[in-house]
Amino acid sequence: MAWNEPGGGNRDPWSGGGSGGNGGKQGPPDLDEAIRKVRSRIEGLFGGSGGRSSGGSSRSGGDGPKGPSKKGIGIIVGLVLAGWALSGIYIVDEGTRGVVTRFGAYHSTAMPGPHWHVPYPVDSVEVVDVSSRRRITVGYQATSPQQTRAVLDEALMLTEDENIVNVQLAVQYQVSDAADFIFNFVNPQQTLKELTESALREVVGKRAMDFVLTQGRAEVAQSTRDLINEALRVYEPGIEVLEVVIQDVQPPEQVQDAFEDAIKAREDRERVINQAQAYRNEVIPRAEGEAARVREEAGAYVAQIVQRAEGEASRFSQQLAEYAKAPGVTRDRLYIDTMERVLQRSGKVLIDVESSQPLMYLPLDRMMRNANTQGSTGNADGPSSSGETAQNSSSSGSSSSSSSRQLRMRETR
């Protein structure tokens, strides 16, 4: 049963009554009384009236308000000085630098870690991020992570051949010196943007439009970066340019269609040139190889004819010398060698013309030659060839017998 329910009796936990035999005992101390005691002590420390009792009567010895005591003043001053001194503690995070100024002038640069400086208004600290990459754009602005808006006042530039191009460029940079970044320029980022635009206009103005729009993008970006770094070394803004990237290069919108047609025609020309070059690279080496082969064959033929002629001439000279020594023997030897060369390529038949009997002639050399030819071709038509050979033999025999009486062997010299 709760203490405040009807019929529960006096169960107030903050009162001295209640059942259970605790009605005569004293409860917890009064909260208001504790606050009054603490207040009285504080007033006594700082020169107060010494406090009043719960009934409102003044304490003994309290004649009225007193001034603050020396002890109280010392405590107050000590607390104030301690708080002022502790306010000079600061921590520099990794990747940042703390630039300490004393009365507005540069004093030192704090590295990452805990530090202390003379608190305000003597010293002050400004933390500069030197690790993250920062970015500025020329010719366009980012309206969202996926969309951009062209800034024609910055993007339109004049080329060397008096044409206009739309160039959009981005620069990534990093703070290299925190003190120079803070003190040397009021707005370093705006200064870098104006410097980039000026350098880009100078580079584009020294080159033709076709070069900038086609193969010259990388060269334009590199030249722009070199000019920016050269100027930064003179101005010392505490900035280091890391990368310069051309986002887009286009002709003005009014002539963009015509320029696309010109680009297409240029690409077609390059394609045709490449095809012709490929055909040339295929045909010329082949023709050069054929010419080299013909030259080698002609050289070999010339060498063969010359050497053969020289050999024939040498042989004739040697034969002439031998003929001068022994004409008869040399003449007979030449005759025999000539007949040997002639007769070894022709068929020879010896016939006895003295007898009057018919003679059967069998051309054995032709039969053997035909047999060898048939063997090399697989004997496809062997029987018919043998028949033809027999017929040829018969006809040869009959013709030989009919003319045997008229033939005589004779050696002609």
Structure tokens at 155: 């993007």
Q: Comparing C-alpha atoms, which of 119, 133, 127, 132 is closest to residue 93?
A: 127
Domains belonging to the chain, first-starting first, are 86-129 (no CATH), 134-253 (3.30.479.30), 256-340 (no CATH)
Which range has the worst mean pLDDT, 184-193, 239-248, 381-390?
Answer: 381-390
Helix pair angle (364-376, 382-402), 10° resolution: 170
* pLDDT tens-place string over residues 8-54: 555 555 554 444 444 444 555 677 788 888 777 776 666 655 544 44
Give CA–CA dist 98/115, Å, rounded.
9
- The predicted structure's pLDDT at residue 149: 85
Alpha-carbon torsion, ordered 203, 208, 213, 219, to 10 deg = -40
Instruction: Please compute the mean of the pLDDT values over residues 339-367 and round it to a whole number.
Output: 70
- What distances in angstroms separate CA 69 from CA 44, 66, 124, one per listed residue? 9, 9, 35
Q: Is the pLDDT of residue 197 over 90?
A: yes
Token pair 């060369």: residue: 341
Residue 293: band (very low, low, confident or very high) from pLDDT cuts 50, 70, 90: very high
pLDDT more than 90, % of the chain: 22
Residue 57: band (very low, low, confident or very high) from pLDDT cuts 50, 70, 90: very low
- Give the chain's mean pLDDT: 78
Q: Are strands 147-150 and 156-158 parallel, antiparallel or unpaired?
A: unpaired
- DSSP annotation of 173 reads E
Residue 88 near residue 110 (C-beta atoms within 8 A)? no
Residue 387: band (very low, low, confident or very high) from pLDDT cuts 50, 70, 90: very low
Residue 108 near residue 98 (C-beta atoms within 8 A)? no
- The predicted structure's pLDDT at residue 202: 92
Q: Write down how long the chain is.
A: 413
Residue 44 near residue 66 (C-beta atoms within 8 A)? no
- Residues pairing with 173 in the sheet: 134, 241
Give CA–CA dist 380/389, Å, rounded.
16
In terms of C-beta density within 10 A (0-12 exposed, 13-18 middle, 19 or more buried), how is residue 49 classed? Answer: middle
* pLDDT tens-place string over residues 201-221: 999 999 988 888 888 889 999
Residue 133 near residue 242 (C-beta atoms within 8 A)? yes
Residue of 243 and 363 predicted with greater confidence: 243
Q: Is the pLDDT of residue 292 over 90?
A: yes
Instruction: Please compute the mean of the pLDDT values over residues 370-387 and round it to a whole number.
Output: 60
3-state class of 326 per DSSP? coil
Residue 323: band (very low, low, confident or very high) from pLDDT cuts 50, 70, 90: confident
* pLDDT tens-place string over residues 91-111: 888 889 999 998 888 888 889
Residue 360: band (very low, low, confident or very high) from pLDDT cuts 50, 70, 90: low
How far, rounded to the nearest angstrom, does the alpha carbon of residue 47 sit from its chain's CA centroid?
81
Give CA–CA dist 45/67, Å, rounded.
10
Residue 248 near residue 165 (C-beta atoms within 8 A)? no
Q: Comparing C-alpha atoms, which of 237, 41, 215, 219 is closest to residue 134?
A: 237
Residue of 322 and 40 predicted with greater confidence: 322
Q: Is the pLDDT of residue 78 over 90?
A: no
DSSP states of 195-237: HHHHHHHHHHHTS-HHHHHTTTHHHHHHHHHHHHHHHHHHH--
Residue 16 near residue 27 (C-beta atoms within 8 A)? yes
Which range has the worst mean pLDDT, 71-75, 328-332, 367-371, 386-390?
Answer: 386-390
pTM: 0.49
pLDDT more than 70, % of the chain: 73
Residue of 386 and 269 predicted with greater confidence: 269
Most confident of the following: 10-19, 21-30, 360-369, 382-391: 360-369
Structure tokens at 348: 């020879």
